[in-house]
Structure 1
Amino acid sequence: MKTIFKQVNKKFIYLLIFPLFLLGCEDFLEVNEPFGQINTPEVFEDEITATAAVTSLYAKLRDEVLLTGNTQGLGALMGVYSDELDFYGLGVEPMNSLYQHYVFSDDPIIEGIWNGSYSLIHSGNAILESLDKSDKLSLETKEQLRGETLFIRGLTYFYLVQLFGDIPYATTTDYKTNSILSRMSASKVYDSIVNDLIEAKAILPTNYISGERVRANEFVVAALLARIHLYREQWELAALEATSLISNTTLFDLDIEVANVFLRESTSAILQFKPKSEGENSQEASIFLFESGPPPLVSLNPKIYESMEPNDLRKENWIGIVTDGNQTWYYPNKYKIEANTGTSIEYSVVLRLAEQYLIRAEARLKLGNFSGALEDLNHVRNRAGLMDFEGTTENGIMDSIILERYHELFSEFGHRWFDLKRFDLTNEVLSPIKPGWKPTDLLLPIPENELLMNPNLVQNPGY
């Protein structure tokens, strides 16, 4: 992990944290200190500067790592890797290797995902160590910041284990320890993530501390826990966590207009990324929207549009259409605004309530509660203007849940790819359309440089 496992001067934590802060955390918190000159004791003796360190982690997720709305984020990368997005860029562009499934261990995109994620984890570990040492912050502040950092670390590890399988699990900033870590089994990584999230949930408040839905609280953590329990087939736990959000009608409401789901004030949002500056909007619009064909980079695979029912409101509101008279292209139109609007209108949605309904529907179905599963499934369908699905068999209801996830969550941070894996559909769906597809593509390769630097790492099969 060359990006993170460097010797760090412990006296100056700004070398770890504040370069991230300077990338765009002015939107989370306005401060006047010269951050490039703040050392460790000063940062974590003051609530404002300590909070700025933590909010810098959100900024890196928003701007650089995993959940960014640009071409380096999973919405675009796993979109082309799966069957969501068709690639129209140049054949020499790195994204084309993902699209065609000709991915190698020296791929710059893969290195970027790995290094950026572990850099973020390392910064989070530095924050946790500094919080433990601080004797100036109030207990309430320390718990808030610790809970948020544990959540972000858990979220980052969740995506890493989904993408790479067994991975090194670092919880310290110690260079010697981290530089020789071997890969921990995915199951044990998940156990560690869940332990972090349980602690975070216990110490975070139920309200949104900033007034907007841009920082983690108890329910944000519960949403991630629900997803993890679902992926691990822990049905009762998944249903329990999802219910905690669904039943909180004071904070969350699914029954809003489909057109309003991705707006700043959406009450179906659980966690959002606030744009870097007021007046800016989400980054997703800049890579997905186009006005004439052929598309400059990517388009939405037509089968998503074609598989939707005619009166599905998501077709009209979430999918754009471009034609030149001979050919028609589609694009994700969940985020519609590229220009600066003076006041930000759209925030990038990281976690939202519709997923929780679909999580609980699947969990209930697996627990034998068919009526409860249909209730949750149909709540999402009804919001989209559709009639109830009235299937009576487990397979029929499950197929409908899978299809509903496909229609509801497309282009959002890799949901489709993870679902193809979970439901063992990768070979069936991708082998006919991906020239380089092979069954070992379920996992991405460990970057070659990491293997050269750490003899305890081994490569994934097929690379």
Structure 2
Amino acid sequence: MKKIVYILLVIFIFSCEDKLELSPVSQKNVDNFYKTENQFYQAVMGCYDGLQSAMLKASFSYMMTESRSDNAWQEVDYDDGRISRFTDDADLTVLNSAWAGLYNYIARCNNVIQSLEGNTELEADVKAQFEGEALFMRALFYFELVRFFGEVPLVDKVLSIKEGYAMQKSSIESIYDFIVSDLKRAAELLPDVKPSANPNRATALAARGVLGKVYVFRSGYPLNKNEWGLAGTELKAVLDGVGDEGFFDNYNDIFDYNFEGGEQAIFSIGCKSGAEGEGNPFPTRNAPNGMNPGNDPLMIPYGGSPYQLFLDDYILGSIFDEPNDVRFGYSVQTEWLEKSGDTITNWPFCQKYKNGPVSVSYDWDIDWILLRYTDVYMLYAEAQYYQNEKTEALNILNKVRKRAGLIELQAADIDTEDEFVDMLLRERRKEFCFENQRWFDLVRTDKAMDIMKTFLAQYGAAANFTSRDQYYYPIPQRETDVTGIK
């Protein structure tokens, strides 16, 4: 199977914006730089490279999501440790990395979109594909920004240096409106099905799936826009477009190298081992640093890392709070071999995606699923519940539970809205543990304050979470110093 291998050579186009360190990132005028299909292809691959970094490889992709949630506890006083303990502030290095990185990637998308305007050299379908992909990825980058920081500057074009300094924040609703607009247009422009040669390229179904998810988020905290009908329409279109083949009978197959690019993956980020750092770092990053490298089931090729998500019995017991959940054994490895030769049984780690070729450390040849069928399916259940289709919502949750080996829920288990939300969060936590979704789910349902204070109390840190203002990270101090945005 051929995968996208992101073309890093095009990144020189954006070198000036990195040196300026402005945000929103500014750069020299690139009008008329892109003309041929190959030039645009390289530029779009540069956008995909940014997506791979932002959603998988950059430290903020997990530090600001999973480490913030009750799915991990980082004790040490590094960036993720302070994020876990809610003692982060505007000087935290990872916040600046997220802000600067995401705006850099948005600038790449803006370059493509602006350069396509008035282009007469490309075939219409090729031009539509490139524009749709750039719009789709720009929406994803803004979706991360607005969920990380709340109000942020809205940049929809290539900026001059002066314009970059002058940008101000836009409201959360304005950012979401922009995301919706980009995704709607992307869905109109993109092909309906994955191209067989490059199954990791965006499709109309991927755009509609993300759009449905955005409507779910707009229906929750802080906007509470009650767009469940809109969400349901988009999500159902994706489910119908993919068909039942998207719901794998075996949970572990979702993350199996042999099935990558399949219907369970509405949209995946392509990873390729041995291609100049384009592999998936997730399996190595989550393995303990003291692990003995090797091919034994108790080892990881090339060993682990110091950047793993730290789990303990309290965390795992609260996630997998029902016996016989097959997702526990698929998601967590409880024994491993230390370099000393000892077998360690009290230091569990996430083992999702731990298969497929690997050529060097952090370089696995297995795609990262950014939007999977079960996510769309469960979001659709949520939308249906709020449209008074409670029986269908219950049936969907039970189908997911049955695959996991759990007993079915009864209507009485979710008799009230609070009971439904609590149950939904429990089910999503089990299904998507360590996939960077939990924190965002807690915030959009406005359950983060209560759930996280209980969790933090276990580690003596409950007093650090004092306000819903902490649902969002502070604007990086470096950004405030340069532009005045705060």
> What is the TM-score normalised by the length of structure 2?
0.80
Aligned CA distance change for structure 1 residues 201 and 301 (closer, same or farther; 3 Å): farther
**Structure-2 residue corresponding to 1:448:** 477
Quick check: 1:254 aligned with 2:247? yes
Judge conservation of contact 2:281–2:364 (CA < 8 Å) in 1: no
For 2:231 and 2:111, the matched residues in 1 are separated by 31
Moved more, 387-396 or 368-377: 387-396
**Structure-2 residue corresponding to 1:21:** none
Write out per-residue CA displacement over residues 345-381 of structure 1, whole angstroms, 9 at most, x where no aligned residue. 5211111011111101111111111111012111211
The 5 A counterparts of 1:178-197 are: 178-197=164-183
The 5 A counterparts of 1:303-382 are: 303-307=314-318, 308=320, 309-322=322-335, 328-337=346-355, 340=358, 346-382=366-402
Q: Secondary structure at the match of 1:270?
A: strand
Q: Secondary structure at the match of 1:124?
A: helix
Judge conservation of contact 1:151–1:197 (CA < 8 Å) in 2: yes
Quick check: 1:80 aligned with 2:80? no
State the Cα distance separating 1:313 from its structure 2 match.
1.3
The 5 A counterparts of 1:127-206 are: 127-175=112-160, 176-206=162-192
% identical equivalent positions: 24
Judge conservation of contact 1:252–1:269 (CA < 8 Å) in 2: no
Quick check: 1:114 aligned with 2:127? no
Aligned CA distance change for structure 1 residues 249 and 139 (closer, same or farther; 3 Å): closer
Judge conservation of contact 1:274–1:348 (CA < 8 Å) in 2: yes
Aligned CA distance change for structure 1 residues 388 and 222 (closer, same or farther; 3 Å): same
* Aligned residue among 441, 445, 460 for 1:419: 441
Judge conservation of contact 1:246–1:252 (CA < 8 Å) in 2: no
> What is the TM-score normalised by the length of structure 1?
0.84
For 2:315 and 2:39, the matched residues in 1 are separated by 45
**RMSD of the alignment, in Å?**
2.7
Aligned CA distance change for structure 1 residues 124 and 132 (closer, same or farther; 3 Å): same
* Aligned residue among 225, 240, 244 for 2:237: 244
Write out per-residue CA displacement over residues 75-97 of structure 1, whole angstroms, 9 at most, x where no aligned residue. 34321112111225x43x22222
For 1:359 and 1:7, the matched residues in 2 are separated by 37
Moved more, 160-169 or 97-106: 97-106
Q: Secondary structure at the match of 1:247?
A: helix
Judge conservation of contact 1:357–1:380 (CA < 8 Å) in 2: no
Q: Secondary structure at the match of 1:419?
A: helix
**Structure-2 residue corresponding to 1:273:** 269
For 2:421 and 2:244, the matched residues in 1 are separated by 29
Stretches of structure 2 that go unaligned for 5 or more consecutive residues are: 1-19, 220-226, 292-303, 337-341
**Structure-1 residue corresponding to 2:301:** none
Aligned CA distance change for structure 1 residues 288 and 10 (closer, same or farther; 3 Å): same
* Aligned residue among 217, 221, 226 for 1:231: 217
Judge conservation of contact 1:220–1:270 (CA < 8 Å) in 2: yes
State the Cα distance separating 1:296 from its structure 2 match.
4.0
Give the letter aligned to residue 84 of structure 1: N
Stretches of structure 1 that go unaligned for 5 or more consecutive residues are: 14-39
Give the letter aligned to residue 54 of structure 1: V
Give the letter aligned to residue 68 of structure 1: L
For 1:146 and 1:251, the matched residues in 2 are separated by 30
Give the letter aligned to residue 250 of structure 2: E
Aligned residue pairs total 422
* Aligned residue among 421, 427, 451 for 1:404: 427
